[in-house]
Amino acid sequence: MNKELIVQLHSNFEDIAQEHDDVTYWAARDVQPLLEYSEWRNFEDVIEKAKSACNGSGQSVENHFVEVNKMVELGSGSKRAIKDYMLTRYACYLIAQNGDPKKDAIAFAQSYFAIQTRKQELLEEHLQLAERMQARAKLSETEKQLSSTLYQHGVDDKGFAIIRSKGDNALFGGQNTGQMKKRLGVKKGRALADFLPTVTLKAKEFAAAITDFNVKKDDLYGTNKIADEHVKNNKDVREVLAKSNIVPENLPAEEDIKKLKRRVKTQETKLLKSEGTLKVSSD
């Protein structure tokens, strides 16, 4: 996510923030379009899921999702009341967690509502951590899909491991998976991808997605033919990276993705638990 988009999204969410008894909240009807939901009924379905998650966390739903009526003007000039919610930061966070993280607005909101500070530089740092976790999850998802496709095209688990290893060899300039693990100090039994930077994770995912597409399109069968296809795609991706002076095997290892997930989750939980709740009179 580029800095210009982060600045714009930050401004959008800041502009609709409101205050009630020194607690910041957001109106659901204002949040809805920013999270790219065109219809209220679809957005309300997500709110209900978020309520369930809130209840499951031991928090009071009523203190985070306050149902209110909002007056809107009709075309005739008259007004009518429509349903709305006052949402705490925690409520908005849970709503964002139920959205599609591939959408920039949702990915941004997940970080924006997870941290208590409004300092943009800290928000950018959190987004970078979240982006790497999402890239790792996307790679796992694509490789799972590729494995399923290859199984239908005459490749067993051993064949898939061979294909994936040859792909790594092509992407990392002749360094196989084992050599890259040693180079990056990855312990035995751990996945290389858990220590790769975001750009490399995305490169591997892109090559795997192309292989999956071409295997289906060209009806490729067998380990050897599909391995050749996967090698070609990884070499092509490597060439694209080279144009930006990115050499995958020379990039340093990143923090263990499992430790990163735990750290980010702990930070988010600590910050959100310290966030205020809404106490709105029903009178």
Per-residue pLDDT at 8: 85
Residue 104: C-alpha distances to residues 127, 145, 171, 200, 231 (Å): 11, 23, 27, 20, 31
How far is it, in rounded angstroms, from Cα 22 to Cα 8? 25
Write the pLDDT tens digit of every residue in 13-27.
889 988 887 778 899
pLDDT, averaged across the chain: 86
Per-residue pLDDT at 174: 95
Per-residue pLDDT at 280: 57
Residue ranges of the chain with pLDDT lower than 50? 117-118, 282-283
Per-residue pLDDT at 267: 63
The total number of residues shown for the chain amounts to 283
Per-residue pLDDT at 163: 95
Per-residue pLDDT at 124: 62
Write the pLDDT tens digit of every residue in 35-82.
999 999 999 999 999 999 988 888 888 888 998 887 777 666 677 888
How far is it, in rounded angstroms, from Cα 116 to Cα 132? 21
pTM of the prediction? 0.57
Per-residue pLDDT at 102: 78
- pLDDT over 90 percentage in the chain: 52
Residue 153: C-alpha distances to residues 102, 166, 218, 224, 225 (Å): 29, 18, 11, 12, 11
Write the pLDDT tens digit of every residue in 69-100.
877 776 666 778 888 999 988 889 899 988 88
Per-residue pLDDT at 185: 93
